C-alpha cells in the first residue's frame, strides 16, 4: 500500500523534504515508523522515540497501533505548545 507522509517543522528540515510517498506492505503507524528508522540518520535519530513527535492519520491524532490503509495521509510533527 502507498502512504503519503508529511513532515513538519524540525522534521522537514532534518529530512530535507516536506512530504513523500512510502510503500508499506501492511501494518500500522509503528510499522511505518520502524520502516523509516531503517534509513539510518537522521531518520532513526528523529523517529526512534528519543525525540518528541506526534503522528496524525488523515488529520486525526494517532497512536502506534493505529492501522494504516492504502492512500492514507500520515503527518509527523513535533508537539506544539501555545500560550
Walk along the chain (83 residues) in steps of 10 and give the mean pLDDT of each run.
97 97 96 96 92 96 97 94 57
Does residue 42 lie within any of the structural domains? yes
Does residue 44 lie within any of the structural domains? yes
The overall pTM is greater than 0.85 = yes
Half-sphere exposure of 40 (CA within 13 A, CB side): 0
- 52-62 burial, b if ≥16 CB within 10 A, otherwise e? ebebbbeeeeb
Q: What are the backbone angles phi and psi of residue 53, rounded to the nearest 5°?
A: -160, 165
User: Which CATH number covers residue 26?
Assistant: 3.10.20.30
Q: What are the backbone angles phi and psi of residue 10, rounded to the nearest 5°?
A: -60, -25
Residue whose C-alpha is closest to residue 29's, from 69, 79, 59: 69
Q: Any bridge partners for residue 73, and if so which?
A: 4
State the total domains in the chain: 1
Question: What pLDDT sits at residue 80?
Answer: 76
Strand order in the sheet with 54-57: 19-23, 2-7, 73-77, 54-57, 60-62
Q: Which domain holds residue 12?
A: 2-77
Amino acid at each position: 500500500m502507498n502512504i503519503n507522509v508529511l513532515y513538519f517543522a524540525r522534521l522537514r528540515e532534518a529530512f530535507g523534504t516536506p512530504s513523500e510517498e512510502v510503500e508499506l506492505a501492511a501494518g500500522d503507524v509503528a510499522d511505518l515508523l520502524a520502516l523509516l528508522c531503517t534509513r539510518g540518520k537522521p531518520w532513526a535519530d528523529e523517529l526512534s522515540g528519543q525525540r518528541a513527535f506526534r503522528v496524525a492519520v488523515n488529520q486525526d491524532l494517532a497512536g502506534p497501533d493505529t492501522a494504516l490503509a492504502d492512500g492514507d495521509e500520515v503527518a509527523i510533527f513535533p508537539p506544539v505548545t501555545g500560550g
